[in-house]
A and B are shown apart, each in its own frame.
With several copies, the nearest count.
Chain A
Amino acid sequence: MTTKLKILAFGIARDIMGGSSVQFNIEMPTTTSKLKKALIDQFPEFIDVRSLAVAVNNEYSSGSDVILDGDEVAIIPPVSGG
């Protein structure tokens, strides 16, 4: 069923999504790859971003990792600290 998933967005992802915490409609449970695909579908500007990672509960997550309701999900564009 389609749920509103809260997504934290930083850096250029925040600019593209229009906020640092965005409600996003997606079929749940989902996976990291599915979320990335859905985000790129809804926000085509992500295509031009060099890379896009997803963090679930403060850990980098990879393609088939499942995202459950209640997880803290963040979109991580290319980092540039230091």
Chain B
Amino acid sequence: MDKRRIDIQILDTSLSVERCREFITRSDCGAEAIFVGTVRDHTKDRRVTKLEFEAYTTMAILEMEKIALRLLDHHNIHKIAIHHRIGILRISEIPVIIAVSAPHRKAAFAACEEAIDTLKETVPIWKKEFFEDGSTWVAAHP
């Protein structure tokens, strides 16, 4: 039942805010909060040329579903879309979009922020940063 209120996808093609909005927009909701992650051209002082994202897809989808279902339980929100991209991404491309609809804005913002915070903690997806002179798995080392 609640599963009809969540849209979880891992894609190897460009993500689209409008596609997420098509899923979450409802006539009984007045507020939508959307988080869009974009690829930054630097990390600390090092220039980043591209990113690569790799996912343990089956488990990543289950973990994202857990996040979405828990948010539906804990916040007065109606629908939530979490789309994550994998593969090679260039600067300013979108690795992740989280979109939440709710009757009122406070719940939409709270759920959207909690979703991205939790995703970064629990979902088995890994980011490799490429520099002009090498590459590194983000967060792998202390």
Answer yes or no: A and B touching, Cβ < 8 Å. Answer: yes
A residues adjacent to B (C-beta < 8 A): 8, 10-12, 14-15, 48-50, 55, 58-60, 74, 76-82
Q: Contact: B140 with A74, CB < 8 Å?
A: no
**What total of chain B residues lie within 8 Å of the partner, measured CB to CB?**
29
Chain B, range 13-51, C-beta contacts under 8 Å to A: 37
Extra pairs beyond A79-B125, A81-B60 (19, CB < 8 Å):
A8-B56, A10-B55, A10-B124, A11-B128, A14-B54, A48-B141, A50-B139, A55-B56, A58-B58, A58-B59, A58-B62, A74-B59, A77-B137, A77-B140, A79-B121, A81-B84, A81-B123, A81-B124, A82-B120
Residues of B within 8 A of A10 (CB): 54-56, 124, 126
Smallest CB separation, B41 vs chain A (Å): 17
Smallest CB separation, B2 vs chain A (Å): 19
Residues of B within 8 A of A76 (CB): 56, 124
Interface SS, B side: mixed
Residues of B within 8 A of A48 (CB): 141-142
Residues of B within 8 A of A74 (CB): 56, 59, 124
Q: Contact: B124 with A50, CB < 8 Å?
A: no
Residues of B within 8 A of A77 (CB): 126, 137, 140
Chain B residue with minimal CB distance to A76?
B124
B residues adjacent to A (C-beta < 8 A): 37, 53-56, 58-60, 62, 84, 95-96, 116, 119-128, 137-142
Task: Tell which of B56, B128, B140 touches A50, judged by Cβ atoms closer than 8 Å.
Answer: B140
Complex CA–CA separation, A41 to B123 (angstroms): 27
Smallest CB separation, A9 vs chain B (Å): 10
Q: Contact: A81 with B127, CB < 8 Å?
A: yes
Complex CA–CA separation, A8 to B127 (angstroms): 17
Complex CA–CA separation, A12 to B56 (angstroms): 13
List, sorted by A's number, 24 A–B pairs whose CB atoms are closer than 8 Å: A10-B54, A10-B55, A10-B56, A11-B54, A11-B128, A11-B137, A55-B59, A55-B124, A58-B59, A74-B56, A74-B124, A77-B126, A77-B140, A78-B139, A79-B120, A79-B125, A79-B139, A80-B125, A80-B127, A80-B137, A80-B138, A81-B53, A81-B127, A82-B116
